[in-house]
Amino acid sequence: MTKIREKAMHAVFLFSACIAIFGVLMICIFLFAEGIPALREIGVFKFVFGKVWNPSADEYGVLPMILGSIYVTAGALVIGVPVGILTSVYLAMLCPVKLYRIIRPLIDILAGVPSVILGLFGITVVVPAVRSIFGGWGSSILAASVVLSIMILPTVISVAESSLRALPTSYFEGALALGATRERGAFSVMLPAASSGVAAAVVLGTGRAIGETMAVIMVAGNQSVMPSSIIKGVRTLTANIAIEMGYAAGLHRDALVATGVVLFVFILLLNLLFSALTRRRER
């Protein structure tokens, strides 16, 4: 009876995995089937490295959106990743139990806040702050980076904390026995030992930031021009698709699908890069 149950559950798990793989394949087929003809008609080099996006004149260059996505995501990582990792170390190694019971639920609540709410927070708080401190319109790369850094915090904290807690407690206890302080043991022993998990947290945070749409639309300025300053407005790849897909038709619509192809390939290359770096570090 036990063997029958094990085989049945094995079949269920295999079926679930096949569904996930099938879903990814269907997305890939749709994107490339719809996007490659547009890339062929416009020209891959002209599409990827073109600096002008003007559908009314049949000019489709996504380089401003690519750079906008990179700058906004990089800004979010610069702000959010250090805060997230430091928070995860504190929660896993240094936080008192009573305080942990307060902070951990608050982080879980932050993870459940809809992106449109964070976008409203960005419009009413972050954008005016950027405008008053740095000048300009306020809707900018900096404002979008701040909002996205808040959005990726729960992901980075949760994954990094789980990695730290998965380590044997003997690592930390051994460091304390050798005379290290709790802080030194956490940062010099535990954090390097959990480097693969921390790298996974950064990857997931990067994917969360680069794939965000609504909040970025609300605070980034949505200007399809080459980025020139962190206090200037930009448009990301996701925002470009969301803003124009509702009324696009013909080559314009196909170009937006091709934008999705560029975004898909960009995220794939990013994940492969992080995977290669993690494997190299483990060796």
For residue range 182-231, what is the model confidence (pLDDT) as tens digits? 888 888 888 888 888 888 888 888 888 888 888 899 898 888 888 888 88
Residue 134: predicted pLDDT = 87
**How, if at all, do strands 53-54 and 59-60 pair?**
antiparallel
Structural domains in the chain plus CATH codes: 53-282 (1.10.3720.10)
Q: Could you report the per-residue pLDDT of 154-171, keeping only the tens digit for each?
A: 999 999 999 888 888 888
Cut 0.75: pTM above it: yes
Q: Could you report the per-residue pLDDT of 253-263, keeping only the tens digit for each?
A: 888 988 988 88
Q: What's the token pair of residue 226? A: 């080459």
Binned at pLDDT 50, 70 and 90, residue 144 comes out as very high
Taking residues 109-130, report their average pLDDT. Answer: 91
Residues making up the chain, counted from first to last:
283
**Buried-state track 60-95, b at ≥16 Cβ within 10 A, e below 16:** bbbebbbbbbbbbbebbbebbbeebbebbbbbbbeb
Contacts of 232 (CB under 8 A, 6+ apart): 136, 140, 141, 221, 223
- Residue 282 pLDDT exceeds 60: no
| Closest by Cα among 102, 152, 145 to 231 | 145
Is the separation of the CB atoms in 143 and 130 below 8 Å? yes
Residue 59: predicted pLDDT = 87
Residue 125: predicted pLDDT = 93
- Residue 1 pLDDT exceeds 70: no
pLDDT averaged over every residue in the chain:
87
Written as one string, the DSSP assignment of 228-250 is --TTS-B--HHHHHHHHTTT--T
| Closest by Cα among 146, 106, 112 to 130 | 146
- Residue 275 pLDDT exceeds 90: no
Residue 279: predicted pLDDT = 67
Residue 174: predicted pLDDT = 85
Query: Residue 53 is inside which H or E element, if any?
Result: strand 53-54
Residue 145: predicted pLDDT = 93
